[in-house]
Amino acid sequence: MSLEQPRQPDAGVTPEGDLDYDELADLLGERVLDREEHINAEGFVVRPDEVEDTLSTLKQEAGFDHLSCVTAQDYQDRYESIYHLKKYDDPTQELSVVVPTTRDDPTSESAAGVFDTADWQEREAFDLVGVDYEGHPDPRRILLPETWQGHPLSQDYNQDKPQIVPLREHANPTEERTNVPQESDTMFINIGPHHPATHGVLHIKTTLDGEQVADIDPDVGYLHRCEEQMCQQSTYRHQIMPYPDRWDYISAGILNEWAYARAAEDMADLAVPEYAQVIRTMSAEMCRIAAHLLAVGTFALDIYGDFTAIFMYAIRDREVIQNLLEDLTGQRLMFNYLRLGGVAWDLPEPREEYFESVRDFLDEWPSRLEEYHNLLTSNELFQMRVVDTGILPPEEAKSYGATGPVARGSGVDYDLRRDDPYGYYDQLDWDVVTDEGCDNFARASVRLQEMEESARIIEQCVDLLEDWPEDERDIQSNVPRTLKPEPDTEIYRAVEGAKGELGIYMRSDGTDKPARFKIRSPCFCNLQTLPVMAEGEYIPDMIAALGSLDIVLGEVDR
Amino acid sequence: MSKNELHDTLDQAQSTQEARMGEGVDSRFNSKLREAFGSTPFILTKFDQFMNWVRGSSMFMLLFGIACCSIEMMHTYAVKHDLDRFGAGVPRASPRQADVIIVPGTIVSKFAPRMKRVYDQMPEPKFVVSMGSCTISGGPFQEGYNVIKGVEEVIPVDIHVPGCPPRPEALIYGIAKLQERIANGETSPVTVKPYELEQFGDLEQDELVTKLADQVDEDDLVMRYNWADSA
């Protein structure tokens, strides 16, 4: 990576670049109580009071600098937290740290001292499953209201019990203001949960010192619609697939479906025909363009109220892409197009006509992009607002587990399409876009350039599909009608969604439904970096930073 | 004129008012002027009809995004579908300037009190379009532990637009229907709303309330969800 000094090779890596789990186990010594086999990686079982030591050794000496996900779950006899570790340099090198605790006293040491991202992830684990994290800096609920009773994803939760939710935060805004001490220059304001600049139902508790942001506390959970529970009570084969469309709902449906498809296909060892992979790749990149377009359009709307030009242009171009996707999948927004082992159906007939409309879009695209560059990146107004505001240094980005355009805008060269290849990406010619500006401008510019790369990918896919022999157009491999993976198979798999690394952890229990389904949401982790970017800045710069993060509340709250 | 006769005339006037209002017109459409007059002279009747036509032809929508449906709602406002063509397309950021609230997405327990507050802040007469399956029944998330089974559990709804999400055309159709109704002075009956904002102190003292007593103040507004009843 360009920003880093050359350093010693990590411990536990063979000269070929593979992980040597025995060496890693030796590195941790007696802290490893047991070793488990997960499909993606080995799991080292450690004591609940040695979490911080273990993780910090792995981070410092073995180079595991990316805490991708924290999964909590409960078994009949124990609670378990799993820390899914990866490396930003090579995300195929994975390791899980499994921390079991007893049912009577589910207390486990917090990892927030080693990885900043563990802060929110452990809060979520506490909120939904009920594992207590000792030494956690901020042990509050995160998705559910503070007065909630019970932990809904634990086994003994009764969903029919009544709950009481207070409306305290916003009871009387003027009263809040008069409560501020007279001499003090600080002011507390609520932004959201109903506010146009928050891109949905996000609530930001902001403390201002004069006009500067002194403290900021994003309050999420206003769209927590139990996606994990829904997936846990649905069957692998068909019932889960519609839900991913609704995580990141900015037309990024196929990217999300792919996250589930990839995890489930690897878990059940299903093959996908190459032809289907090309269609997946093409449609996924169309989704990426649509998602980035909305990000760029609303960003312009946020920072200088450009409702008439950029926003409308972006919506106009989205309509074009949505038409292409509708022709392919039958839906404008919630595609439900991928199937385990393939896709739902072939390209629409007549094929030539479809290819022609895709090519029309691609021919027009460079001039459209140039227009966006004229209106945004080379616009002085825009530059004044976003250059050198919302700084996110690469080391902080990594520690907070930022991925996607947010990480790439901080110079972190991390893209799962290239680094952990899936689909047809490794056989196509395209580049990962990074920008070392670390500011709001860099993130917006990365998105604009990524759309260019996506168009390149689509073009190559169309070329491939046009020449594909007619008798080899398999869209679906043989998949059993009812899918029942071996009991206690565990997998964590991620794809590059529109906002970053979208991962899914699944554990099977021998039935046709997953026993635990955990979604690693890129937006959830990216949003955690907001205080880093915004504290000390002015309020409008905070809004710009929030816009440049491009969060989708459906995916933050799940 | 005797006292009795005067009384009869008043009675008559009142029933005329009722007769002129017709069925299906509720108090939301009554102007202050009409109330002051007590009866409905011809010119005011025409004025009311005129006002209804005006209301239907120039609706200010609340800029209110919740979930997936709000993306389709944005597309409905913007180019190609351009809701403004139908006199209903200027989104207002403040509820105090809006007549219509489109509820575009899943309502969860934490958000319902806030939505109720936003709805309460809108001036009368106000209308609600519920967009998407989630706002009708909870949709695909109906079985979720945190999901309100339809927006009608919290606020009254005039028009339901089904779909997941509804296409912009469907939303436009729903809004056109609402405009038609408003112009005719019709509204839907207000249905039962089991979930209300109330003061914590007024709640029935049961196990849950006693447990939360030290976390919530007596005069805090709360919403109590009896999940078992609403399924």
- Give the pLDDT mean for A13-39: 83
What whole-number distance in Å separates Cα of residue A516 and Cα of residue A409? 33
Unique residue bearing structure tokens 């609706």: B59
Domain A21-134 has CATH 3.30.460.80: yes
B chain contacts of residue A230, beta-carbon cutoff 8 Å: 140-141, 143-144
Measured from the Cβ of residue A502, the count of other Cβ atoms closer than 10 Å reads 30
DSSP state of A538: B
Residues 277-316 of chain A whose Cβ lies under 8 A from any Cβ of chain B: 294, 311-312, 315-316
> Which of A192, A168, A163, A193 has the alpha carbon at shortest distance from A179?
A168
Residue of B nearest to A240 (CA): B140
Q: pLDDT at position A362, please? A: 93
> Which of A120, A99, A123 has the alpha carbon at shortest distance from A50?
A99
What whole-number distance in Å separates Cα of residue A303 and Cα of residue A543? 7
A2, A394 contact by CB (below 8 A): no
pLDDT digits (tens, 9 = 90+) for A208-242: 888 888 888 888 989 999 999 999 999 998 899 99
A chain contacts of residue B203, beta-carbon cutoff 8 Å: 164
Q: Which of B63, B71, B72 to mutate to test the interface with A (most CBs of A within 10 A)?
A: B71
Answer whether B209 sits within 8 Å of A201, measured CB to CB: no
Q: pLDDT at position A303, please? A: 85
- Give the pLDDT mean for B76-92: 84
Q: Is residue B38 part of a domain?
A: no
- Give the pLDDT mean for A188-201: 80
Residue A417 has pLDDT above 50, yes or no: yes
Beta strands in A472-552 (DSSP E): 490-496, 501-508, 514-520
Assign A195 to helix, strand or coil.
strand
Residue B82 and residue B149 in one domain:
yes
Residues 171-210 of chain A whose Cβ lies under 8 A from any Cβ of chain B: 171, 193-196, 199-201
Specify the number of domains making up chain B: 2
A322, A316 contact by CB (below 8 A): no
B chain contacts of residue A334, beta-carbon cutoff 8 Å: 68, 164-165
Residue B27 has pLDDT above 90, yes or no: no
What whole-number distance in Å separates Cα of residue A516 and Cα of residue A506? 6
Residue B72 and residue B175 in one domain:
yes
B chain contacts of residue A156, beta-carbon cutoff 8 Å: none
Closest approach of chain A CAs to the CA of B193, in angstroms? 16
B chain contacts of residue A149, beta-carbon cutoff 8 Å: 208, 211
Q: Is residue B211 part of a domain?
A: yes
Partner residue facing A165 (CB), from B80, B93, B113: B113
Q: Is B33 on the interface with A (CB under 8 A)?
A: no
Answer whether A144 sits within 8 Å of B147, measured CB to CB: no
B117, B158 contact by CB (below 8 A): no
On the CB side of A150, CA atoms within 13 Å amount to 16
A557, A223 contact by CB (below 8 A): yes
Answer whether A230 sits within 8 Å of B140, measured CB to CB: yes
Quickly state the pLDDT bin for A327 (edges 50, 70, 90): very high
> Which of A279, A267, A251, A256 has the alpha carbon at shortest distance from A424?
A279
Answer whether A225 sits within 8 Å of B117, measured CB to CB: no
Residue of B nearest to A318 (CA): B75
CATH 3.30.460.80 residue ranges of chain A are: 21-134
Q: Is B210 on the interface with A (CB under 8 A)?
A: no
Q: Is A157 left (phi over 0), alpha (psi -120 to 50) or beta?
A: beta
Q: Is A100 on the interface with B (CB under 8 A)?
A: no
Q: Who's near A25: CB < 8 A, 6+ residues apart?
A: A32, A35, A44
Residue B48 has pLDDT above 80, yes or no: no
Q: Which of A142, A167, A513 to mutate to test the interface with B (most CBs of B within 10 A)?
A: A167
Torsion sign across C-alpha atoms B77, B82, B86, B90: positive
B108: exposed, middle or buried (Cβ count in 10 Å: 0-12, 13-18, 19+): buried
Residue B157 and residue B125 in one domain:
yes
Residue B169 and residue B226 in one domain:
no
Q: In what order do the strands lie in the sheet with A501-508?
A: A490-496, A501-508, A514-520
Residue B117 and residue B206 in one domain:
no
Quickly state the pLDDT bin for B84 (edges 50, 70, 90): confident
Task: Return the minimum-mean-pLDDT range out of A79-88, A130-139, B85-94.
Answer: B85-94
DSSP state of A95: E
Which CATH number is B121's domain given? 3.40.50.12280
Concatenate the DSSP letters of all residues of B103-142 into one string: E-S--BTTTHHHHHHHHHHSPSS-EEEEESHHHHH-GGGT
What whole-number distance in Å separates Cα of residue B114 and Cα of residue B126? 17
Residue B62 and residue B172 in one domain:
yes
Q: Which helix (H) or strand (E) holds B177?
A: helix B168-183
Q: Is B105 on the interface with A (CB under 8 A)?
A: yes
Q: Is residue B136 part of a domain?
A: yes
What whole-number distance in Å separates Cα of residue B110 and Cα of residue A144? 7
Partner residue facing B220 (CB), from A168, A229, A316: A168
Q: Is residue B48 part of a domain?
A: no
CATH 1.10.645.10 residue ranges of chain A are: 227-557
Quickly state the pLDDT bin for B13 (edges 50, 70, 90): very low
Give the pairing type, strands A338-339 and A78-86.
unpaired
Residue B67 and residue B179 in one domain:
yes
Q: Which residues of A422-431 are buried (b: 16+ CB within 10 A; e: fewer)?
A: bbbbeebebe
Residue B119 has pLDDT above 60, yes or no: yes
- Whole domain around residue B215: which residue ranges? 197-230
Partner residue facing B109 (CB), from A145, A200, A332: A145
Q: Give the torsion through C-alpha atoms of B165, B171, B177, B179, to 10 deg.
A: 140
Question: What kind of fold does domain A227-557 have according to CATH?
Answer: Cytochrome-c3 Hydrogenase; chain B (1.10.645)
Residue A411 has pLDDT above 80, yes or no: yes
Q: pLDDT at position B20, please? A: 45
A424: tokens are 């047809």
What whole-number distance in Å separates Cα of residue A61 and Cα of residue B137? 53
Distance of CA A532 to the CA centre of its chain: 19
Residue B80 and residue B159 in one domain:
yes
Nearest 5°: the CA angle A496, A501, A506 is: 105
Residue of A nearest to B203 (CA): A164
Q: Who's near B45: CB < 8 A, 6+ residues apart?
A: B20
Closest approach of chain A CAs to the CA of B52, in angstroms? 29
Q: pLDDT at position A40, please? A: 85
- Give the pLDDT mean for B3-27: 51
What whole-number distance in Å separates Cα of residue B116 and Cα of residue B119? 5
**Percent of chain B at pLDDT above 90?**
13
Closest approach of chain B CAs to the CA of A141, in angstroms? 12
A14: tokens are 């063979």
Give the pairing type, strands B60-62 and B90-92.
parallel
Q: Which of A194, A220, A228 to mutate to test the interface with B (most CBs of B within 10 A)?
A: A194
B chain contacts of residue A553, beta-carbon cutoff 8 Å: 67
A391: tokens are 């700084």
Answer whether A319 sits within 8 Å of B79, measured CB to CB: yes
What whole-number distance in Å separates Cα of residue A242 and Cα of residue B140? 9
Residue A5 has pLDDT above 70, yes or no: no
Residue A461 has pLDDT above 80, yes or no: yes
Residue B107 and residue B64 in one domain:
yes
What whole-number distance in Å separates Cα of residue A298 and Cα of residue A196? 10
Q: Is B31 left (phi over 0), alpha (psi -120 to 50) or beta?
A: beta
What whole-number distance in Å separates Cα of residue A448 and Cα of residue A400? 24
Residue B138 and residue B213 in one domain:
no
B chain contacts of residue A294, beta-carbon cutoff 8 Å: 71
B68: tokens are 């997936």
Angle between helices B168-183 and B68-77 (to 10 degrees): 70
Residue B114 and residue B167 in one domain:
yes
Residue of B nearest to A144 (CA): B110
- Interface size, chain A vs chain B, as Cβ–Cβ contacts under 8 Å: 171
Residue B207 and residue B163 in one domain:
no
Partner residue facing A201 (CB), from B111, B143, B147: B111
What whole-number distance in Å separates Cα of residue A121 and Cα of residue A131? 12
Give the pairing type, strands A95-102 and B221-225.
unpaired
pLDDT digits (tens, 9 = 90+) for A158-188: 888 888 888 875 444 445 455 555 556 777 8
Nearest 5°: the CA angle A169, B219, A171 is: 25
Q: pLDDT at position A9, please? A: 66
> Which of A8, A22, A152 has the alpha carbon at shortest distance from A74?
A152
What whole-number distance in Å separates Cα of residue B196 and Cα of residue A165? 11
Q: Which residues of A133-143 are buried (b: 16+ CB within 10 A; e: fewer)?
A: beebeeeebbb
